[in-house]
Amino acid sequence: MSGKHYKGHEVSCCIKYFIFGFNIIFWLLGVAFLGIGLWAWSEKGVLSNISSITDLGGFDPVWLFLVVGGVMFILGFAGCIGALRENTLLLKFFSVFLGIIFFLELTAGILAFVFKDWIKDQLNFFINNNIRAYRDDIDLQNLIDFTQEYWECCGAFGADDWNLNIYFNCTDNNPSREKCGVPFSCCTKDPAEDVINTQCGYDVRAKTVSDAEQKTYIHVKGCVPQFEKWLQDNLTVVAGIFIGIALLQIFGICLAQNLVSDIEAVRASW
């Protein structure tokens, strides 16, 4: 009996420990993302007042850490424990979950290509909605500032989109000092300045400032067209990253299925 066992199928140690090693790193990254997200919510007092989650009118960037971290945690746990304990149920769950993510990514990519105008409208709506909530959440504020600085843009389609914000609009009844202004992240940078001037956007959209003068102080292009331009300029890199991620997912699914087949074959030979 023992001789037949050793001559039969064996579970590949290389595949088993490769899946285990890869997924324990993935799992630890998921834990780190979840930890950062929960820490950020704790700092903002959300954990002590859960109902405040729905109070923010715009997008809370913490959700990105929590969702990505949660997916990485679940996938990493299933792949890690499934490989280590040779648990076919967890390994099948890992394969199916990874396959669903791959299918959703593929579907999203196709829909984004087919419905480009609709995507552009949704991006415009998303940015404008977050412009309204700019001062409501520090993480959202930092995200918008980073976006406008990185792509050298202002608003969704132009600086006047900041009229949507109660602090920056040009209405007569607006008492804010930031009236008819824009955030500092819209300003053109002076290489000679070491310290950021957070008041550089004050009054730049006032009637006394001409369009020509405005261009010398702030970026007048919107973030939607600037994002489109960036995407076209870096299409090869972006496509390479997505193809690389897709290949890794397919590779992971194949390895997990191979390990499941080995485990089932070994058990069948007992």
- Domains, the chain, ranges and CATH? 86-269 (1.10.1450.10)
pLDDT at 197: 86
Tell me the C-alpha distance between 264 and 86, whole Å: 10
Name beta bridge partners: 187: 218
137/70: higher pLDDT: 70
Q: How far apart are CA 143 and CA 202, in angstroms?
A: 20
Taking residues 196-222, report their average pLDDT.
84
Residue 53: what pLDDT? 67
pLDDT at residue number 6:
44
Q: Is the pLDDT of residue 3 over 70?
A: no
Instruction: Quote the CA–CA distance of 9 and 263 in Å, as a whole number.
Output: 9
Taking each helix axis from N to C end, the angle separating 116-132 and 138-150, rounded to the nearest 10 degrees, works out to 130
The answer, yes or no, to whether residue 76 has pLDDT greater than 60, is yes
For residues 44-64, average pLDDT: 74
Helices (H) and strands (E) in the chain, counts: 9, 0
pLDDT of residue 5: 44
pLDDT at position 56 is 62
Q: What is the pLDDT of residue 52?
A: 65
Q: Is the pLDDT of residue 209 over 90?
A: no
Cα–Cα distance, 241 to 260 (Å, whole number): 29
- pLDDT tens for 211-238 read 777 888 899 999 999 999 999 999 899 9
pLDDT at 260 over 70: yes
Answer for the pair 135, 165: CB distance below 8 angstroms, yes or no: yes
Q: What is the DSSP string of 116-160?
A: HHHHHHHHHHHHHHHHHTTTT-HHHHHHHHHHHHHTT--SSSSGG
Give the pLDDT score at 180. 93
